[in-house]
Amino acid sequence: MALNPFSSGTRLRDMIRAIRASKTAAEERAVVRRECAAIRTAISERGQEELRHRNMAKLMFIHMLGYPTHFGQMECLKLIAAVGYPEKRIGYLGLMLLLDERQEVLMLVTNSLKQDLNHSSPFIVGLALCALGNICSAEMARDLAPEVEKLLRSRDVNTKKKAALCSVRIVRKVPDLAENFMGLAASLLKEKHHGVLISAVQLCTELCKASKDALEYLRKNCIEGLVRILRDVSNSSYAPEYDVAGISDPFLHIRVLKLMRMLGQGDADCSEYMNDILAQVATKTESNKNAGNAILYECVETIMGIEATSGLRVLAINILGRFLSNRDNNIRYVALNILMRAITVDTQAVQRHRVTILECVKDADASIRKRALELVFLLVNDTNVKPLTKELVDYLDVADPDFKEDLTAKICSITEKFSQEKLWYLDQMFKVLSLAGNHVKDDVWHALIVVISNASELQGYAVRSLYTALRAYSEQGSLLRVAVWCIGEYGEMLVNNVGMLEAEPPITVTESDAVDAVELGFNRYSADVTTRSMCLVALLKLSSRFPSMSERIKLIVAQNKENMVLELQQRSIEFGSIIQRHQSIRSSLLERMPVLDEAAYLVKRASATQATTPAYKPASRVTPGDLKLPNGVAKPAAAPLVDLLDLSSDDAPVPSTSATTTPNDFLQDLLGIGGTNLPTAGVPSASTDILMDLLSIGSSPSQNGLLDSTSPGQAEKKPVSAVPQVVSPVPEPIDLLGSLSSSASSSAGTKSSTVVPQVVDLLDGLSASTSVSGLEDALPSITAFQSATLKIVFDLRKQLGKPQETTIHATFTNLTSTTYTDFIFQAAVPKFIQLRLDPASGNVVPASGKGSVTQGFNVTNSQHGQKPLAMRIRMSYKVNGEDRLEQGQVSNFPLGL
């Protein structure tokens, strides 16, 4: 053998030494490279076979260090195919480490495995079972399952337990095979040997997961056996070698309890059968050692999982209580874990441990803190939110810097979710901003600004509190931003102490102080571009609020005319010129921001955070009521309602329908939301649209058919047939009554005397509806847009079997007396919707509704069922050669599109 220490003749030991002796990574790489080269040579040369198994051992070591070893894979196969046991052993070890189930080479080994599974030596069988249990693929599982089945009947305990675990892997890969194993698995439970029992119980558990039949079979056949095993194990100490800290075989205990949970879940008979033994385990197991607690932990989980009696549940919750007060961190950690799960079963019981859990939030152990915080978050409700939040906010001051981010996020989440009054919400947020402003996420302080903007009577208080907080905690980034924004907007409230609350301490702030605060913020080294820009805007606004400060502000702004950041430079120059040269428009230009639309912001935020934070419960924050702020100011009435329906618009969904249409939209939406108050809503000043909507809301198929019956062809010939109300508003009230009454024929009868065309239409619709509904799902039409000049009606169709897709047929009607030319309709949808527009029937819309243009299009909602359809539309056209543009948002699509 060569003497060169790096030839393939080196022993494994020497190679490891050489690698360990390497002082640098490069040196280590060189050693490995030389070894690999030598091994490659040895592989390709004949006559080196006796080194094969040493080389394989080396390769395994090299593999562990993270170097590529694929060239050794074939050597593994050769070693496995060798006759001797030592070769096979190292070969199988290599197989499990260097190869995995995804490699094609693996199928070469199937045959060797098959032979070894049938080998006379139990050692070789053991090796093969072990390898199969670790890397078996679905294909191998099918090929080798009969062998493994046979081995389950073996008399050797080692073989039997390995075969059982091998079956676990086989069943996991090919669940269909479960039935072949269930009889054998049940009979294995009668064994005495603990290793076999553990393996058998695990096999049973896997079978329950894999197949319903197996679950039923095992429920019938092995529940008695399990109870007996558990009783034997917990009563006697007949197996001293399985004794862990005075408890007899905790592992077996745990496996059996786990299987019992699977069997007892949703099965009252099984659960009842287990009650006694579970009670016995729960009461008799000693809890002063880890092993005992492990059993109790599993026992509690099982009691929570099965249909246990209430007495047993009480017992379980008490055990958890004991766990929580345990000194051992591990025990407390698992206690918090089960409480998380128990909260869905019994919230009250968990609430009892609230104080202890709150203590755990302050634990030194990061794992425990994290768990406890999550649990507290789940425990918060309307009654305990104030004390809990106070505790958390107080702790924020001393919390670990690493933990502050989590803690801040949770506090913000809690205050937003449960704030019953605005003042309390503002106070908590100001505290959080002061203590951990650098950890507050953008959307949180954006929301805060929205709330302040809406709370007109608290704006003075807010700006003064923020000003005071800023003086003490100027290093907190988002505090600075919010404070600067408020000072800019409500500067005069700060100086004049407007809207003082009763308990509020008066402060004296001069105009110059306010400007100082903003200037200081601007000059903070930690302020980023966003903060600086906000400061500049605030200064500009202050220049209008405090005319006396105007000169000074001009100077401060002017300092940035050469700022390196382009944005700041540009703003500074623009603002400088506003202050200096445009005195006349300055005050109107720098008026307060209009009240921000709270609902719109919430909607936008919900859709933005939906993907990222699953625990956020976005659905629950869609409605404005969720922020439970009863003293919000009155808002422009219609807008939020429109937006309510628009759950998914990506941009700020300020409704751009012109002011004249607002009342219509409002009513429409009311009706669209739920038809319960149909008669009252329809009566007072019902405009044509409302009536039409009333009709379309109706759920009886005949009415749907009526509106759907307008085929595209009909619409062109008789443009207003879908919307007869536009032409002759007189008969509509009757129509309304007619369609509300249950029988279609009687309604037709009452009307026939008054108006002819509509009745014909109605009847037409009825007859047509039957033929149409077979192919397509009929849906009510909607008025997508209406202004003084233009009206758009959408006919909606759904292809059967394609719930995501909606075919929309739009009809455009000109309400003025001038013809529109060059009419173009455009639509935009959020990203999750796909839109395909067909060409329009023409680009001239005749005047006074004497004809209309139609256009079909198709939308596919990829998040059907989660997000509703939403759309923005834009119509451009020419009137007497003059360009006109109208746009709007369609948010009154029926639910479920």
Partner 1 sequence: MIQSVMVISTLGKPRLLKFYNFQDPQKHQELVLSIFQLLSVRPEGVSNFVETDAIFGPGTKLVYKHLATLYFVFVFDSSENELAMLDLVQVFVETLNRCFKNVCELDIVFNFNKLHTVLDEMILGGQVIETSSEEIMRSVEDIVGETIKHDKPHTKVDFAALQPLIFSSHFQDRIRRTLPEEIRLVFEFISTGLSVL
State which of positions 350-379 bind partner 1 (CB under 8 A).
364-368, 370
Q: Would you count residue 70 as binding partner 1 (CB under 8 A)?
A: yes
Report angle CA 696, 701, 704 to the nearest 5 degrees. Answer: 30
Per CB under 8 A, contacts with partner 1 among 162-181 are 162, 165-166, 168-169
Task: Tell me how crowded residue 754 is: count the other CB atoms within 10 A of its CB.
Answer: 12
For partner 1, give the closer residue by CB, 133 or 491. 133
Question: Residue 593: phi, psi to the nearest 5?
Answer: -60, 145
Does residue number 298 form part of the binding site for partner 1 (CB under 8 A)?
yes
Q: Closest CB to partner 1 among 288 and 587?
A: 288
Kindly state the tokens that stand for 799: 């292809």
Instruction: Select from 105-113, 410-418, 568-576, 690-698 the region that touches partner 1 (CB under 8 A).
Output: 105-113
Distance, CA of 794 to CA of 693 (rounded, Å):
12
Binding footprint of partner 1, residue count (CB under 8 A): 97
Touching partner 1, residues 770-789 (CB under 8 A): none
Q: Give least dist CB 159 to partner 1, A.
A: 11
Q: Which of 95, 281, 294, 308 binds partner 1 (CB under 8 A)?
A: 294
Q: Give CA–CA dist 458/435, Å, rounded.
A: 22
Six token digits for residue 873? 């539309």
User: E strand or H helix at 291, and its extent?
Assistant: helix 290-305
In whole angstroms, what separates CA 413 from the centre of its chain? 15
Q: Work out how close the CB of 20 gets to partner 1 at its nearest, in angstroms, rounded to a whole number.
A: 7
CB of 884 to partner 1, least distance (A): 54
Shorter beta-carbon distance to partner 1: residue 158 or 275: 158
- 760 counts as binding partner 1 under rule CB under 8 A: no
Name the residue nearer to partner 1 (CB basis): 19 or 673: 19
C-beta separation of 371 from 331 below 8 A = no
Task: Report whether 94 contacts 75 (CB < 8 A).
Answer: yes
Enumerate residues 75-94 that contact partner 1 by CB under 8 A. Answer: 77-78, 80-87, 89-90, 93
- Which tokens sit at 753? 């005397």
Contact 394, 356 (CB under 8 A): no
> Quick one: 131 or 540, whose CB is closer to partner 1?
131
Smallest separation (angstroms) from partner 1 to the CB of 606: 23
CA distance 4 to 301: 61
Q: What is the footprint of partner 1 within residues 110-149 (CB under 8 A)?
A: 110-112, 115, 121, 123, 126, 129-130, 133-134, 136
Q: Among 518, 559, 525, which Cα is nearest to 539's?
A: 518
Q: What does each C-alpha distance from 736 to 678, 698, 703, 806, 896 come to in angstroms?
A: 10, 10, 11, 27, 25
How far is residue 806's CA from residue 829's CA, in Å, rounded to a whole number?
Answer: 13
C-alpha torsion angle, residues 286, 290, 295, 300 (rounded to 10)? 90
| Minimum gap (Å) between residue 165 Cβ and partner 1 | 4
Q: Which is nearer to partner 1, 20 or 717 (CB)?
A: 20
- Please, which residue, 52 or 541, has the CB nearer to partner 1? 52
- Tell the smallest beta-carbon distance from residue 120 to partner 1 (Å): 13
Instruction: Supply the minimum distance, in Å, between the C-beta of residue 409 and partner 1.
Output: 17
- Please state the closest distance from residue 115 (CB atom) to partner 1, in A: 5
Instruction: State both tokens at 483.
Output: 């404070």
User: Which residues, in sequence order, are bridge partners of residue 821?
Assistant: 878
Q: Cβ-count burial of 670 within 10 angstroms (0-12 exposed, 13-18 middle, 19+ buried)? A: middle
Kindly tell me which of 79 and 641 has the beta carbon lying closer to partner 1.
Answer: 79
CB of 102 to partner 1, least distance (A): 6
> Hey, CA dihedral for 482, 484, 489, 494, is it positive or negative?
positive
C-alpha distances out from residue 75 to 87, 276, 469, 703, 821, Å: 11, 56, 72, 77, 81
HSE toward the beta carbon, residue 382, CA cutoff 13 A: 5
Residues 184-203 that bind partner 1 (CB under 8 A): 194-195, 198-199, 202
Least spacing, CB of residue 440 vs partner 1, in Å: 23
Q: Which of 181, 217, 297, 820 binds partner 1 (CB under 8 A)?
A: 297
Q: Tell me if 874 sits within 8 A of 823, measured CB to CB.
A: no
- Among left, alpha and beta (phi > 0; psi -120 to 50; other), residue 822 is left
Ranges within 231-290 binding partner 1 (CB under 8 A): 239, 241-242, 244, 249-252, 254-255, 258, 290
- Distance, in Å, from the CA atom of 26 to the CA atom of 142, rounded to the nearest integer, reads 46
Site string for partner 1, 403-442 (x = CB under 8 A): ----------------------------------------
Taking the complex as a whole, the smallest distance from the CB of residue 53 to partner 1 amounts, in Å, to: 7
Residue 72 or 521 having the CB closest to partner 1 = 72
Write the DSSP assignment of 87-127 as a string of letters: HHHHHHHHHHHH--TT-GGGGGHHHHHHHHHT-S-HHHHHH
What is the Cα gyration radius of the chain?
38
Q: Which lies closer to partner 1 via its Cβ, residue 71 or residue 666?
A: 71
Among the residue ranges 161-169, 531-539, 727-735, 865-873, the one whose residues contact partner 1 (CB under 8 A): 161-169
What residue has token string 């609350």? 501
Q: Min. distance of Cβ 733 from partner 1 in angstroms? A: 59
66 binds partner 1 (CB under 8 A): yes
Site for partner 1 in 310-329 (CB under 8 A): 329
**Nearest distance in Å: CB 675, partner 1:** 43
Q: Under rule CB under 8 A, which residues in 27-56 are in contact with partner 1?
A: 43, 49-50, 52-53
CB closer to partner 1 out of 65 and 619: 65
CA 52 vs CA 90, 291, 422, 766: distances in Å: 10, 44, 77, 86
Residues 7-26 that bind partner 1 (CB under 8 A): 13, 16, 20
Closest distance of CB 342 from partner 1, Å: 15
**Residue 49 CB, nearest distance to partner 1 (Å)?**
4
**Could you say which residues in the range 565-624 bind partner 1, by CB under 8 A?**
none
Nearer to partner 1, 360 or 514 (CB): 360
Contact (CB, 8 A) for 336 and 359: no
Binders of partner 1 among residues 802 to 821 (CB under 8 A) are none
CB contact at 8 A, 135 and 106: yes
Long-range CB contacts (< 8 A, 24+ apart) of 876-883? 876/822, 876/823, 876/824, 876/826, 877/820, 877/821, 877/822, 877/823, 877/824, 877/845, 878/820, 878/821, 878/822, 879/816, 879/818, 879/819, 879/820, 879/821, 880/818
- Applying CB under 8 A, which of residues 214, 222, 334, 779 lies at the interface with partner 1? 334
Residue of the chain from 31, 32, 39, 60 that contacts partner 1 (CB under 8 A): 60
* Smallest separation (angstroms) from partner 1 to the CB of 17: 9
Nearer to partner 1 among residue 285 and residue 607 (C-beta): 285
Q: Which is nearer to partner 1, 134 or 658 (CB)?
A: 134
**Residue 224 or 328 having the CB closest to partner 1:** 328
Nearer to partner 1, 166 or 188 (CB): 166
CB of 106 to partner 1, least distance (A): 11
Which residues lie below 8 Å from residue 563, measured CB to CB, with a gap of 6+? Answer: 569, 572
Residues 202-231 that bind partner 1 (CB under 8 A): 202
In the bound state with partner 1, the residue whose beta carbon lies nearer, of 529 and 615, is: 615
Site for partner 1 in 498-557 (CB under 8 A): none
Provide the minimum distance between the beta carbon of 357 and partner 1 in the complex, in angstroms, as a whole number.
Answer: 15
